[in-house]
Structure 1
């Protein structure tokens, strides 16, 4: 049922509700990292108001003084119901979940459960830059398996990486980004089934970062990694953070396949207790009651993908853009502009537009930028106009 956007007709587009003056009053990193003459289309924050059900849940909690430690299973129950409704997946068992402070700290904990210091973690580059930093923080080492020219998982390259990661017989893990950040690619059932079979053959444990799972375009389908055959020993990290713009209200869930229940049971109390109670309240409300707001957002993101493609075709025709089926991120190949390995620096210096440098995404990122299109059509239009002036 994902991608149906079934409530969007009843809700205003959240991306059209805040003006630049309102956004510049925000104190989060997106709006404070750069001077006021820079348009920030970089970090994964959305230019939207808070979904009303989420705002109400937080306000009610504050009015009650309900700001202590988190308890109960409302969060995984809400996510399990969301998974049934949106993805047709009924395999998310509440008893096989654990609270984690957020998705990336949950990834670190999963890697600590499955591997030892110095062990290898395979990633598909170009990929979300914190994969590199957090894997290093966990005391593990990265083995890259670059995506194919079509920006999809290359199974031959992945097998080579698995073989290298397991050389010497040490444990190893595969950190899967599903949907993929920065490309917005949705992995198919066949692709994920092949990944699971390959991981089983080489004895790697799979940890799937599925934080962008709610953000799927119309007509597309998100496939949870743990829903495909052969993933019984897999782990997944999920959250409402990206779908409802809740990065400042931290709370994630570590979800286990049937044969990985023992791993989740070993998550230390000291980890789960670090989860924000208000964060859990917010994420629960988002999954339980935020569907109509999400549908309206997804429609707005679809509109922005089409708008960005049209703007680039008009103003920067040598920039290659393959609109993704998920996330609110656009991966732009700017090598045709002749701006060198770091075009983001040029767009910032000459155009006063802040984008993410492709260099931070690992092998394959040179000459690329990541653009956050979760903003108003007006700001997106102005950003591309500025980018065009930077290269003329």
Structure 2
């Protein structure tokens, strides 16, 4: 089963509840999804790897399933990363333009100037995302190459994460037999899949509601302005059901998926559900409204925390086109309606768009990140592979030694 099609791109969404592997094929017409594999995730908590063995097993399962469906062998993947350790910040850099015309070297220099901020040793820069360029006080420039001027300024959004967490993701993938081409922030990937160019232009907030984390990304004028990850997600809802209805976690998850609704007003008074008990006791029949009463305050809390984060970012006034919610937890009935009440903005569910192939299979918010990783990979396939902090130190030492030998001998 060798990779017949060289232009295959694989996204691996390593989530708290599931690990999902999606294979995309680049064609002249665009991107076709040709394989998909999914397996329950056992080794993560709140988006961070806490058990490498379990994570490796889950990754292997998902990858094998995707390989069988796509009829190919998977060698490299674009892996998603989330977790409360992720921090995003805005920075800017200024340089003088050498030949009075912006060259690719100038772009590299100005981005280097913008990323020259003090980052603690235990953190790794995951992304440097250009927001806009300014040439001699002319702002709002997206593509500065070839333009004339004296000074070039770049505004960038820098995403950093804990080195250890990034290393554990790479380690898990390597042990499962795949290389990591790049580590991608999960909400950045999801935004590739579910947001339209018009929304990013007008201003939009993407909320990716996963099992262990809720990821936020704010776009305005076509560029990313703010990113944040909150360590609260769908698992908290399951936990609340398990405690509130006194039922095992696995059953609570099923009940949430089949009968859950996060707006009490949407549930009929006479609707009932059967709830299995713990420790061999008999199952009970409870009203479905009771379930909604457990879910509603928790979902309200998640959205309130997200809203607080958006206000804190200072970009609340720029979200003209509203909010897009995606991720597995956004499937719960009543989610968009409850979000609209809290944000006072139009809210829609985000489904993966702009793809061909197995569209009916991946047509769910659950696969937004996976499809987004493939889309991200197809746009950035030319970039050098991702390296974790420790390796860089080693490379620098070798380089330095070579230079010394050059000087002395």
Q: Which structure would you say has the larger RCO, counting Cα contacts within 8 Å and 6 or more residues apart? A: 1
- Which band: TM-score by shorter chain? under 0.3
TM superposition score normalised by structure 2: 0.26
Higher helix share: 1
